[in-house]
Amino acid sequence: MQRLLLTSLLFFYINSECTAEDKYSEVGATFDGTICVDADTGTVLSESTADRLGHPASVTKLMTFLLILEDARDQQLNINSVVKISKEATQVGGSQVWLAVGEEFTVKDLMYAVMLHSANDAAVALALTRAPTVKDFVERMNTRAKELGMSNTHFVSPHGLTYGAGPHDTTTARDLAKLCVQLTTLKDAFTFSCSKEFNFRPGLKCIHLTNHNHLLNSYPGCDGFKTGWTVAANASIVTTARNDSHRVIAVVLGCDSPSGAKIAQRVRDQIAGKLMTKGLEKLRVFDAEKARLMASSQRDIPKAKSSTSTPPKKPDSEEKTGEKSWLEALFTF
């Protein structure tokens, strides 16, 4: 009976609709896919066309970010080391911090430029610190994606800025969630992703960077990760938030709105916020039900009668079978 009630409750919460009042109209808006997962386990809490292919735009930079952080963790790179800017890094369009040939910045400064301002030139500069050519670095990106089980992902750039018919960086909402589950294991990731402002290039040519992720200011507990938009890809976001007990990751890939690009970006953020709220609430309910059923299970165990002889003790595996059965039913998806 406990298992039946628990399964029914889980089904209800996973399929319930969010009823929060919309700030921006989602009428006519489309997206390639959405997903929300438990960051600790990767368990899917909700999803919609999560395996449909789309273009991540600047969300691509999260793989560049991951590789740099992992290299630093493995002591192959010092984030305080100085990078001398090459001509190739200065020849990228789109969002940038206007790097000049011969300028020098620390890896850390370039990472702030990438994560807050989505600077394409900084992404190329970082790529060239870890590989002989940008092409070689992109091969590293694709190798790491396969290692993480991102089976529907193919990168063509370290930044996500592509034009026209492409080729384009390609991925799915589910694959991006896998990438960010890995990012959450690296505590230094949040040093950059939750920063709201940063002064890049101190001095007369200083650029004051402001994080493009507006949910950092509007959603309680939000501390990452990255937004993206291009004409070819529409609006995407991977974001994360935590409360006292849990962390969730939400992905919205390829959001478009008939009201234009700016509204599409706001609708994208709105959908991501709803996904995180819904996910955190599900995890809260699961915790409450787990505690209640464990307490109920303990009360239902009959007290042993006194006896002059002590029966042989059952193996641990037998004693725990009843308890494990409903716990596994609760947390097996």
Active site residues: 58, 61, 118
- Residue 262 has phi, psi (to 5 degrees) of -65, -45
CB 62, CB 176: distance < 8 Å: yes
CB 285, CB 9: distance < 8 Å: yes
CB 257, CB 45: distance < 8 Å: no
CB 223, CB 212: distance < 8 Å: no
Helix-helix angle 61-73:107-117, to 10 degrees: 150
HSE of 15 in the Cβ direction (CA atoms, 13 Å)?
6
